[in-house]
Amino acid sequence: MPTPPSARGGRRPVAVVSFAQAQNQRREAHRNEVETLMPVFADVLGKVGITKDDVDFICSGSTDYLVGGPFSFVSALDAIGVWPPRRESHVEMDAAWALYEAWVVLQEDGVDAALVYGFGKSSLGDLSRIVALQLDPYVMAPLWPDPVALAALQARALLDAGKASEEDFAAVAARCRRSALDNPMAQVAYDRTVDELMTEDYVVAPLRRHALPPITDGAAAIVLAAGDKAFEWAERPAWITGIDHRIETHSPGGRDLTLSPSTAMAGRLAGVQDGRVDVAELHAPFAHQELILAQALDLGEGVSVNPSGGALAANALMAGGLIRIGEAASRIMDGRADRAVAHATSGPLLQQNLVAVLEGGR
Amino acid sequence: MAEAREPVTTLDTPIRLEYLFSAGIAQSKNLRGLAEGRFVGQRCPVCSKVYVPSRGSCPVDGVPTDEEVALGNTGTVTTFCVVNVPFAGQSIEIPYIVAQVLLDGADISFMGLIQEIPADQVRMGLRVEAVWVEPDQLGPSMASVKHFRPTGEPDAEYASYKDYT
């Protein structure tokens, strides 16, 4: 039996062995959440030839605010079928944090496999108002600051600090959308030059259309397995050799928006710099945020950043971070990369950040 | 000198969000059925249970419930409560009965109003039938069912609905 690469933290090695996602699209008009998730589960379990009865733990990430109804995560369980009763949990966060919870639970003896999933139908309500409600309820949320305006303040801070130019934002968008041409699940993909993108009008200055993520309905799922089970199910598991998440103040006015110290700390603790990085999937919904994240993680030259197109290609809320981990893991599993970094964000303007390092080993 | 002021103890922050509702493919079939004055359920291919309405999957087996099942108009009261509390906007005279009705051939009950029988005579096992609104009032919602009323048949045996209470 081969041995997994050495990991930071955790008493048992845990790996991503399967990843699947729904087609990302602007509006899934027909299927409800359960009907969207069922084929994703069939896909993610089928890829490794297992059934729901082979997983010991199920964890999901979603938010009722997108659906406008209570306990939507409970009804989503109808898509997997939880009889006989099984151990299950949910986070009201991006499902990358559900993966973190599953990674913790997999450290226990007797829990050898977990199914993690996230879903978000962003099209059901007015997203700019829904997302505003994650701000503090006393002084910020009542002003309904929409996420594009807040992101524009962050982009403006970058420009004012001389850390980036509007052309840099366009260069990120051009590269991500070009990479997305190779991603059949992407929602927005094109081949346009920076000069072409710079002719677009501002949506909220200094952000032009290209710097904004699409509004996406989507869902994704990952199977995690511990130890020998990972080798049993996958030819080349994507071992999680480091994972950490950190949080900053809730108030965007209380931090330097041009930096992401929580990403830097999570990256350090996950061991990003312990070796060469082939691929980095960064959860940057707005183009300028990729620049902040790449700097925080100290990604040098030669790293392929967001080869899937990232969140600029598709941005299903509550699933987008998990998809970054899945995209990074896929590149380990199929041998395109040996060492990958995956990042997920949650909260306003990169408030909370999770970083995972994935390795194929030998 | 600082002016002594009353502390702020509360503030109002009105929040209103509007949503589309996507019923889904399976439930849409049920809703269209209601608009035609009939109940449409779906059967699980694994455990054969019939759900009305179906949300598209069997919550036990986690598989799509693709087989459509036309259900009749009659069913059994599995449990009920007597509403004695007046509230704003109440449209029905109290006391009245809200019951769980298990349609014949279905494996899940749903909530229905019981009328055309004195409240103190409603009981578990009572056989009932749906009374639909006038054809021009039918729509894709449970409001198409005006209420349920007794069929006059003998009560159902407890054993026939004990798994659904």
Determine, yes or no, domain membership for B2: no
Question: Two tokens at A259?
Answer: 């930096």
Contact A289, A351 (CB under 8 A): no
What structural domains and CATH numbers belong to chain A? 14-126+215-238 (3.40.47.10), 134-212+242-359 (3.40.47.10)
Percent pLDDT > 90 in chain A is: 90
Evaluate whether residue B154 is within a structural domain: yes
Rounded alpha-carbon distances, angstroms, from residue A128 to A283, A348, B84: 19, 12, 43
Q: A283, A321 in Cβ contact below 8 A?
A: yes
Q: What is the mean pLDDT of residues A177-188?
A: 98
The reply to whether B5 falls in a domain is no
Q: Hey, are the CB atoms on A32 and B20 less than 8 Å from each other?
A: no
Residues B36, B64, single domain; the answer is: yes
Q: Are residues B79 and B141 in the same domain?
A: yes
Domain match, B60 and B129 both? no
- Is the pLDDT reported for residue B1 higher than 60? no
Whether A30 and chain B come into contact, CB under 8 Å, resolves to yes
Nearest to A241 by CA among A103, A93, A334, A102: A103
Locate B61 and state its tokens.
């087996």
**Residues B132, B86: one domain?**
yes
- Residue A285's closest CA among A184, A190, A353, A211? A211
User: Among B106, B116, B132, B129, which residue's Cα sits nearest to residue B50?
Assistant: B106
Cβ distance of B64 and A35 shorter than 8 Å: yes
- Evaluated on CA atoms A86, A91, A96, A99, the torsion sign reads negative
Q: Distance (Å) from the C-alpha of residue A67 to the closest C-alpha of chain B?
A: 8
pLDDT(B128) > 80 = yes
CA separation for the pair B112, B105 (Å, rounded): 17
Q: How many domains does chain B have?
A: 2
Question: What number is the ipTM of this complex?
Answer: 0.86
Q: Give the domain extent around B47.
A: 22-71
The answer to whether residue B3 is domain-embedded is no
The Cα of A257 is separated from the nearest Cα of chain B by a number of Å equal to 27
Helices A95-105 and A320-333: angle between axes, nearest 10 degrees: 60
Is A215 at the interface with chain B, CB within 8 A? no
Tell whether the model's pLDDT for residue A56 goes beyond 70. Answer: yes
Please answer yes or no on whether A31 and B15 come within 8 Å at the CB atom: no
Q: In A, which residues are within 8 Å of B28 by CB distance? A: 30
Tokens of B103: 């349609």
Å between B4 CA and nearest CA of chain A: 23
Look at residue A43 and tell me whether its pLDDT is greater than 80.
yes
Residue in chain B nearest A29 by alpha carbon: B22
Cα separation of the two ends of chain A: 12
Structure tokens at A104: 């913790």
B164 and B128 in one domain? yes
Domain final residue pick, B71, B97, B128: B71
Residue B150 placed within a domain? yes
Averaged over A186-195, what is the pLDDT?
A: 98
Instruction: Tell me, rounded to whole angstroms, the distance of Cα A283 from its chain centroid.
Output: 5
Query: Beta-carbon neighbour count of residue A235 at 10 Å?
Result: 9
Residue A82: what pLDDT?
Answer: 86
- Element holding A207 (H helix, E strand): strand A207-208
Same domain, B135 and B67: no
User: Taking Cα atoms as reference points, which of A83, A114, A57 lies closest to residue B62?
Assistant: A83
Q: Does residue B151 belong to any structural domain of this protein? A: yes
Same-domain status, B116 and B83: yes
pLDDT of residue B2: 62
CB–CB contact A126 B18 (8 Å): yes
> Is the link from the previous residue into A142 a cis peptide, with omega within 30 of 0?
no
Per-residue model confidence (pLDDT) at position A8: 86
Q: Is the pLDDT of residue A210 over 80?
A: yes
Same domain, B105 and B142: yes
pLDDT > 90? residue A66? yes
One domain, residues B53 and B110:
no
pLDDT at site B86: 87
Residue B90 and residue B150 in one domain: yes
Q: pLDDT digits over B49-105, tens only? A: 999 988 899 999 999 999 999 999 999 999 999 999 988 888 888 899 999 999 999
Task: Classify residue B38: in a domain, yes or no.
Answer: yes
Tokens of A163: 């850390």
B84 and B38 part of one domain? no
Residue B12 domain-assigned (yes or no): no
Cα–Cα dist A135/A95, whole Å:
20
Q: Are residues B83 and B45 in the same domain?
A: no
Predicted local confidence at residue A18, as pLDDT: 98
